[in-house]
Amino acid sequence: MNLVAIVALVLALGVASRVLADRLRIPSVLFLILAGIAIGPEVLGVVSRETFGGGLSAMVGVSVAIILFEGGYHLRREKLRESPAALTRLVTVGAAITWLGTAAAVVVFLETSLEVGLLVGALLIATGPTVIGPILQVVTVRDHVAAVLEGEGVINDVTAAILVVVVFEVLVAGDGTPAALVGNFAVRLFVGLAIGAIVAAAVWLLLDRGRSRPCAAPLHARLIVLAGIVVAYAGAETVASETGIAAAAMAGFVLGNVDLPYHEDVIDFLDDLSVVVLSFVFVALAALIDFGDILSLGLAGIAIVVAITLVLRPAVIYLSTTSERFTRNERLFLSAVGPRGIIPASVATLFAVELQALGRSQEAQLLAGTVFLIIFATVVLQAGLARQIANTLQVSPMRTIIVGGGRVGLSLAERLERDGENVLLIDNDPDAVETAQKRGLRALEGDGTDADVLERAGAADAKTVIATAPDDDVNLLACQLAKTTFDVERVASRVNQPDNVDAFESLGVRAIDLSMATAWSLENVLERPSLSAWMNELGRTGDVQEIEVTAADLVGKTIAELNAEIPDGVIVGLLTHRDSSTEVPTGDHELRDGDRVTFLGQTDAVDRAVKRFHPHD
């Protein structure tokens, strides 16, 4: 089979894997690696190490640069602020523990040299957006958990790519010192980040000048961004080897966090491009797995997998996520999901060849076998079972579905998103769906009165369904389906005609009479203007949250005793008991099991109070 036909086959398998993964809601990397093994020398023999000749390294390098650029582009500063301390510890102390701990396991179980152990450990620091991205497409977790996984993937890919080269040049091929190792690493990291930032600035300037020609600009934006990725990668590689990854990631991060012209066009382009290159590199590299190298490790290989996945990963996560914000199950989920991706696979192949050139063929076989064993085991077990792990640990917040993407539905979705809800908006108007997506909301095009559409939206597991369409018949049917077909506990609806309120309430739907709601709002504006203005700012400067008290150590205490537990800038406005009676509490009121507390105050203060009183959401 000629090279063109093989590339076509690889891409076809990649796209088929993605479609199958979307349908079964399983991360696509599992099917990609299985497809690569199927066409590799171990099964069909269509692809081998000689298939792509010397061009594979360059193709994989540019592909990884594109994937990391996209990962950096989506890594917004706001997202990193979700858990900055945890992410910082994870990519510094956590990366060091993973590196040295893996090296120790390799040296002990495989009885090899410390230098080779450190080389393998450096490779296996990386998780990467190639494996984390597909997982987060099918597993919904709270924002701070997703931020840690995404940030770790991008940053540790850069760390691993540079560190493995430095370890090889300084310790394996050379006779350097730890000081030389640190210095070499710092220089290469600086080169990559600096070149990436410079290229990002140039891309921004070019796109900013293109604002005056709006017709051709979106196409030009795509081409300029693609050129920027290649220039950043190639330019950094020319200055110092294996710094191109850092340059691409940095360029993506900078451009993703500035006011980039044609932002939506760039996102669409990067999403499509990354699907193609991810499919290619995963299938191509999976085809290079040599099961002979893996089997030669024997029980020692299994011991290393256990040490990395069941000892080192949980230890790193528990040391990094000390904040109350991470629940016990979220920490278990992070511990159980740390698959290795493209960086270890691509670089392991390169350095196995380098070790053979040094006459250390046994160590080359050990390196390739260990790295590919960890990749295979973690992709199959951790990435492949990620959704099942999340469901078992109950770390996926239940969804709030809004039927109707007009002004009311869109505004409500944005407010609920600010409150930390997991919102999906449904509308059969493609323009409404596009508008919602441009505002950063998850939206599905479809008829909200169709049971199949609601099922696809996850209504069976939804916490709340809210109908906000301007047509009461549409809202009533959507609510009826949610109640009777999917047994959704909380269902609410906008009611446009007051005479229809009884029909909704007879179904057990919380009906919001639009005319009464408008009148109530106008009354507040006239009679209680300060309160009305403050309520309109909820989620920005102020917030109101009602939660059930789940902190066991607070039950039995009076409100007066809890003053020390309540942050400045927030008060307990209401106390709701199990019997649904609600009152404004005094200092003598005592919290009882099952009580619900309503906090009012500044947004940050309310957030801290909620985490203290309700840490197990």
Taking only the tens place, the pLDDT of each residue in 108-136 is 999 888 988 999 999 899 887 878 888 88
The band of 33, judged by pLDDT with boundaries at 50, 70 and 90, is: confident
Is 272 buried (19+), middle (13-18) or exposed (0-12) by CB count in 10 A?
Answer: exposed
Measured in degrees and rounded to the nearest 5, phi and psi for residue 250 equal: -65, -45
Taking only the tens place, the pLDDT of each residue in 308-348 is 999 999 999 999 988 666 878 889 999 999 888 778 877 88
For 77-93, give one letter per residue: b (16+ CB within 10 A) or e: eebbebbeebbebbbee
Q: Residue 428 pLDDT > 60, yes or no?
A: yes
Integer Cα distance of 258 and 205 in angstroms = 11
Residue 119 or 283, more confident? 119
Q: Are 58-393 and 399-519 in the same CATH fold?
A: no
Q: Residue 166 pLDDT > 70, yes or no?
A: yes
Taking only the tens place, the pLDDT of each residue in 493-511 is 999 898 999 999 999 999 9
The band of 604, judged by pLDDT with boundaries at 50, 70 and 90, is: confident
Structure confidence at residue 317 (pLDDT)? 94
3-state secondary structure 567-581: CCCEEEEEEECCCCC
Structure confidence at residue 458 (pLDDT)? 83
Contact 144, 82 (CB under 8 A): yes
Determine how many CB atoms are found less than 10 A away from the CB of residue 475: 27
Angstrom distances, CA of residue 574 to CA of 46, 370, 542, 548, 607: 69, 58, 16, 12, 16
| Residue carrying structure tokens 């069976």 | 460
* Average pLDDT of the segment spanning 19-25: 78
**Superfamily grouping for domain 399-519:** NAD(P)-binding Rossmann-like Domain (3.40.50.720)
Mean pLDDT of the chain: 84
Q: Residue 379 pLDDT > 80, yes or no?
A: yes
* Cα 56 off chain centre by: 29
If you average pLDDT over each of 24-38, 101-115, 262-276, which comes out highest?
101-115
Give the helix/strand (H/E) hosting 372. Answer: helix 361-378
Angstrom distances, CA of residue 567 to CA of 542, 572, 606, 607, 608: 14, 11, 8, 10, 7
* Average pLDDT of the segment spanning 457-482: 91
Structure confidence at residue 262 (pLDDT)? 80
Q: Domain coordinates of the chain in residue numbers? A: 58-393, 399-519, 538-613
Contacts for 88 with CB less than 8 Å, ≥ 6 apart: none
The band of 469, judged by pLDDT with boundaries at 50, 70 and 90, is: very high
Residue 564 or 456, more confident? 456
Structure confidence at residue 29 (pLDDT)? 78
Pick among 1.10.1060.10, 1.20.200.10, 3.40.50.720, 1.20.1530.20: CATH of 58-393: 1.20.1530.20
Q: Residue 97 pLDDT > 90, yes or no?
A: yes
Taking only the tens place, the pLDDT of each residue in 286-305 is 777 778 888 888 999 999 99
| Residue carrying structure tokens 């800038």 | 569
Contact 301, 373 (CB under 8 A): yes
pTM score: 0.67
Residue 535 or 123, more confident? 123
Structure confidence at residue 558 (pLDDT)? 85
Structure confidence at residue 212 (pLDDT)? 58
| Amino acid, res. 214 | P
Question: Could you name the CATH architecture of 538-613?
Answer: 2-Layer Sandwich (3.30)
The band of 474, judged by pLDDT with boundaries at 50, 70 and 90, is: very high
- Tell me the three state secondary structure of residue 526: helix
